[in-house]
Structure 1
Amino acid sequence: MPHPTPPSVLRRPKLWIGTGLIAAVVSMVFALLYVGGNVNPKGNLRDLPVALVNSDSGADVNGGHINLGEQMVSGIQKAAEGDKSIDWQVVTRAEADKRLGRGKVFGALVIPADYSATVAALSAPQPAPAGKAAPPTLTVLTNQAAGSIGSSMSSQAAQKAAHAASAQLGQELLKQAGAQKTPLPTAAQLKLADPVTVTVADGHPVGPRSAMGLSAFYYALVLVVCGMLGANLVNSQVDTALGYLHTDYGPVRKREPVQHTSRVRTLAVGMVLMLGMSLVMGTLVEVATVAILDMDASHLGLLWLYSVATIAVVGIGSLALFAAFGTPGMLLATIVFVAMAVPSSGATVPVQALPGFFRALSEFEPLRQITEGLRSLLYYGAQADAGLTRAWTSMGVALVAALVFGFVVTRVYDRRGLHRIPHPDAESGAEDPAGTPKSPEAPEAPAPATA
């Protein structure tokens, strides 16, 4: 007699409701985090560090000494009192170069040593012949190594301040020229109206194969994804080797004999395997990016060690989440290492241009620390205070936290008897190690009566 066809699983409301809720939460969380962190960088901009250098030595005019550079610095600082978007840091040129070379500022506005002298030459009674007088010049320095968007914001703010200073200076020069008996030609008046030339230069150049200062972020993202994918691979392979899962090779299904293993031991096995995979994956990431793609990089030995360590820490952290939360741990790891990490990394939009929530996330989210460490390795000569020390420290803290969390939770599960498979000595009626319920033993037949 033919067996009736079982109803389709698509008719089960729980399947639709459960899957729909998970999909809804994931799509909403990713949209809010990814777009929310980057939707209004100018509106959220607060305290973007920009160096302000006054190298002006002043000039003697009409029996007195003037320093127009000091006046400009004072004017910029006064204007910044009502606008907290830029943190103007008044430093020497040497200190500015040092901060640019360590990613501490996103750019600089430099007032040259002859600024007052060149301005005074414009208002002299007998100006230099046309073509021989050097115009007053201000230099805006960018720093793509600190982030392309942050460098662009810094450049825009510095150029705005420079042009505002030029316009104000032009008004004063025109007023002085108007007091003279001989009227100035129209061309000369136009020149005096906006006398300062603003030039833009790269304050800390990066190599041509550095993705315009974004190669550190892309490399960091590859390491994080490798750590997560490696953890997923290790988790499934360990479960397969212990007999918890079967493996399909096309139409062929294979399953190992089930082994009773504690949760603590299972996690330890996975972490050891993850360390081995990190050596392979970290090596291949560097080979692919540096040897094959010819990405600009130096300190290759330290870069290799950093790559292996990053993949290992992310992988071990993911395995700890898997062990503690099971299948939902995979979603949680994705949210922690990707959804919350990317918008708070400061790699594209600077941290100073993020909303407050994402600024708080950036203090402990791993991708920011990983990216800053790679910027130090790739752009700043592996200087410890350019982000490398903080990256190694954060990595060590994260590793200890993952180990403690993972082994404490699995130890608690083991002590409470919450094993992944029942012990071989489990009571009858429970599931056997293979996952098949035991049927109760049939009662023994009574012994035959004897005469």
Structure 2
Amino acid sequence: MGGRMKYVFVFAFPFIMAMLLVGIYTSAMHSPTPKDLPVAVVGTSAQAKQMAAGLNKANGSPVDARVVASVERAKELLHDRDIVGAFVLPATAEGDAVIYTAQAAGAAQAEMVKAVLEPLASSQHLDVVEKDIAALPAHDGMGVTVMFTGIAWVLAGYIVVAAIGSGAPELNPLRRLVPLMAGWACLMSLVIWLLVGPVIGAVEGHSAAILGLGALSIFTVSMTQTMLSRFMGLLAVLPGITLFVFLGVPASGLSVSEYAVPGFFRFLHDVLPLPAAGETLRSVLYFDGSGAGGHLLVLAVWTVVALALTAVVDLRRHRSGSDSGSATGASTADFQVPEPAPAT
């Protein structure tokens, strides 16, 4: 029976991995549908208020519209990612309406905003001019660099702990693992930066910030995976990859807008490590660090909680082992081999 179960587990693991990958990714991203897109209608006239109210009241409205008094204020909200688009009414009867977006906050999201707001202009018989306050660089028009860099950080932190658990368990004690993972995080952050920056040329500047963020992200994931391993042993590889990648990618907003996935993933966007790492990197590269604080806090909380829970588990196991020995009255002296009696 034991041999049969071994083979069951051998094939069950890749089976479950494949089902999770297809099931989660497909259910989250196969049909992106905008909902509650935060947009602004810019103007002080009654028309602006009526337009925003009409957008919100429309049956199945994909937006959550507000009125903003000035273009400058709308640009500030876009820069801080408090809104994803702005519709500016023309100043004169002969003027054009303007749709503002921020492509660097998500290329697919920007196109989604245009698809929602352009019909609004058509319904008002207005010509439209499109403007982007944060365009992506020409060499990364789809913005995939942020997504793949974030995934690389996550995998660097996850895989090393899984490998240590199966191949080098003697490194698992926290006093050894923490400095080892800190060094590993710095090394891999440097390697990944070298690849996406100097070698490939996908990222320019912000070297210190990227190196620091990469090290923090990798260390956070490694400590979180360590915590999972303390509770589940080698089986922790499955919830780990699910948490960090299978759930993290759809929730990240790095490939599909967070406003176009089911609500559960929008919640995860604010609490998982990959969205936190990716959004912080996006903030650093394209928005002067605006909005990074909350995402950095998410990474810090994961790190602190993971370290604390791991330390508690280790301490309880250590005490349990000590208590067990004293309860039976056994000591190290009881298990020493007696010296042979001298010959007479």
After TM superposition, the score normalised by the length of structure 1 is 0.66
How many corresponding residue pairs? 328
Question: Using a 3 Å threshold, how does the CA distance of structure 1 residues 324 and 271 change in structure 2: closer, same or farther?
Answer: farther
Name the counterpart of 2:197: 290
Contact 2:213 2:277 in 1 (8 A): no
Contact 2:42 2:86 in 1 (8 A): yes
Name the counterpart of 2:29: 38
Deviation at 1:290, TM superposition (A): 1.2
1:404 aligns with 2:308: yes
- The structure carrying a bigger helix percent of its residues is 2
Q: Letter of the aligned partner of 1:80 in structure 2?
A: N
Question: Using a 3 Å threshold, how does the CA distance of structure 1 residues 376 and 272 change in structure 2: closer, same or farther?
Answer: same
1:145 aligns with 2:104: yes
1:77 aligns with 2:49: no
Deviation at 1:320, TM superposition (A): 2.3
Name the counterpart of 2:327: none
Tell me which structure has the larger Cα radius of gyration. Answer: 1
- 3-state SS of the aligned residue for 1:212? coil
Q: Letter of the aligned partner of 2:119 in structure 1?
A: K
Question: Superposition pairs for residues 13-412 of structure 1, below 5 Å?
Answer: 13-42=4-33, 45-54=34-43, 70-71=46-47, 73-82=49-58, 83-91=60-68, 92-114=70-92, 116=93, 118=94, 136-166=95-125, 196-235=126-165, 238-239=168-169, 242=170, 266-383=173-290, 386=291, 388-412=292-316
The separation in 2 between residues aligned to 1:18 and 1:205, in whole angstroms, is: 48
Q: Structure 2: which 5+ residue stretches go unaligned?
A: 323-329, 338-344
Deviates more, 1:71-80 or 1:370-379: 71-80
Contact 2:42 2:89 in 1 (8 A): yes
The sequence identity of aligned pairs, in percent, is 23
The separation in 2 between residues aligned to 1:222 and 1:426, in whole angstroms, is: 51
Question: Using a 3 Å threshold, how does the CA distance of structure 1 residues 278 and 347 change in structure 2: closer, same or farther?
Answer: same
Q: Letter of the aligned partner of 1:223 in structure 2?
A: W
- 3-state SS of the aligned residue for 1:381? coil
The separation in 2 between residues aligned to 1:392 and 1:72, in whole angstroms, is: 37
Deviates more, 1:91-100 or 1:196-205: 196-205
Deviation at 1:417, TM superposition (A): 2.6
Deviation at 1:238, TM superposition (A): 4.1
1:3-55 deviation per Cα after TM superposition (whole angstroms, max 9, x unaligned): xxxxxx9x94323333343333333222221111112321xx32101222237
1:253-291 deviation per Cα after TM superposition (whole angstroms, max 9, x unaligned): xxxxxxxxxx7xx23212221111111111111111111
Q: Structure 1: which 5+ residue stretches go unaligned?
A: 1-8, 56-68, 119-135, 167-195, 245-262, 429-440, 442-451
- 3-state SS of the aligned residue for 1:141? strand
1:352-411 deviation per Cα after TM superposition (whole angstroms, max 9, x unaligned): 22212222322311111111111110110122xx2x101221111111111111111122
After TM superposition, the score normalised by the length of structure 2 is 0.86
The CA RMSD over aligned residues, in Å, is 2.8
The separation in 1 between residues aligned to 2:76 and 2:201, in whole angstroms, is: 28
Name the counterpart of 2:325: none
Deviation at 1:236, TM superposition (A): 5.3
- 3-state SS of the aligned residue for 1:216? helix
Contact 1:106 1:143 in 2 (8 A): yes
- 3-state SS of the aligned residue for 2:53? helix
Question: Using a 3 Å threshold, how does the CA distance of structure 1 residues 162 and 267 change in structure 2: closer, same or farther?
Answer: same
Contact 2:220 2:299 in 1 (8 A): yes
Name the counterpart of 2:342: none
Contact 1:267 1:323 in 2 (8 A): no
Deviation at 1:233, TM superposition (A): 4.3
Q: Letter of the aligned partner of 2:223 in structure 1?
A: I
Q: Letter of the aligned partner of 1:90 in structure 2?
A: V
Name the counterpart of 1:128: none
Question: Using a 3 Å threshold, how does the CA distance of structure 1 residues 332 and 72 change in structure 2: closer, same or farther?
Answer: closer
Contact 2:39 2:63 in 1 (8 A): yes
Name the counterpart of 1:62: none
Deviation at 1:311, TM superposition (A): 0.9
The separation in 2 between residues aligned to 1:158 and 1:347, in whole angstroms, is: 22
Question: Using a 3 Å threshold, how does the CA distance of structure 1 residues 37 and 426 change in structure 2: closer, same or farther?
Answer: farther
Question: Using a 3 Å threshold, how does the CA distance of structure 1 residues 104 and 72 change in structure 2: closer, same or farther?
Answer: closer
